Structures are given as C-alpha cells and as structure tokens.
Amino acid sequence: MDLKTTLRKLAYVPVIEIDDAANALPLAEALIAGGIGCIEVTLRTDAAQASIKAIAKSGLPLMVGVGTVTRAEQVSMCVDVGAQFAVSPGFTESLGMACRNAFLPLLPGAVTPSEVLIALDAGFDTLKFFPASLYGGAAWLKAIQGPIPQATFCPTGGIRDEDISAYLACPNLAAFGSSAVASRALIAERNWAEITSRAKKLMAIVRAARPL
C-alpha cells in the first residue's frame, strides 16, 4: 500500500478511543455512512486490540490503523490484529526497523526540523505532526515546506473545524486527524446517528476544499 497516496485521497482520519470492543463494528458502519474511509484506533484502552481486529476482519470498506505505537515490540501485535498501518507520536530507529521488517506502513511523529530529517533519512517521508495546534498548526506546515519539501504530514491534536481549510491548503498535507467526529463519549453512548451526522458535515468541508 502506498500510504501517502491513500491518505491524500482520504484526506481525513478520525482518531478513535474505544472502551468496549462491541462498539467497534457499529462505529465503523456509522463512519462509513458519513463518507469516511479510514480510522486510527489508539492503543489507549484495553479494548483497542480487539476493536482493531473486529474492524480489520469484518470486510467493511474502512482502512484501519493502530495508533499510539511507541515500541518495536508492539509491531507484531499490530500485524496479528490486522492493522493496515501504524501511527506513532514519535520515531525511533528500532520502531522503524520493526515496521519495515513486518511490511507494516508506519506514520512516525516529528515536530522539529531535525526530527523530520531523521525520519526522512530512515526512509519515512509521510509523517505524523502531533500535537499540531501546540506547534503552530497550518503555519508550521507552510514554514517547513520551504526547506524540507520532500516531507508530507498528517497533523493531529487540537484541530478545529474552522482550521480545516487552512490545513488542506498546505501542499505538504496528506491528511489530518481529530477525535471530533467520534469522541470517546459519543462512542460510549452508542450515538451512531450523531457520529454519522458529524462525519458528513466534516467531509463536506473536506471535499469542498479538496475534491476527489
């Protein structure tokens, strides 16, 4: 899978925390109904692994990634549950090597020019930018584009609806992520209709700025 091309097409990746694996498939269906084609399930809850596996094995048209991957030892688990890509808030050589050996696409995190160059030198040119709002948001993406145009980013962290157009205007943006569409509370409440409604509204903003 060409992760960069796929993310550019998708444009938005909801960042999800699931506390009950029974909610995984209804959540996936609600997101698909809202026009979303990808999900990042973070390893911040005990139900994360089972949730990823349920979605990955369901056959639903939703690419599923595993988030908050911080150690090389986690990579085999990511593969076992069927994750199609991994996301890390940072980058280490051992993590990058483990993902390459497992043929698991990795979106490593970087927030300084040196971190970006280290990831590029290791062979990763599509990077997570987190927490985006604290490090300058779209303005940071525009600033880094000049000296390091070969890097592409997926910002997450504090992105509001009113920020979306500015992010999508950045040529070095592959996709962006947030938890606004499917918050932990909405998932726990099983408010699938609200999640679908939010997804449709957000994707309308995305497609107005970046038509397929």
Residue among 144, 139, 43 at smallest CA distance from 88 = 43
Which active-site residues does the annotation give?
40, 128
Tell me the residue length of the chain: 212
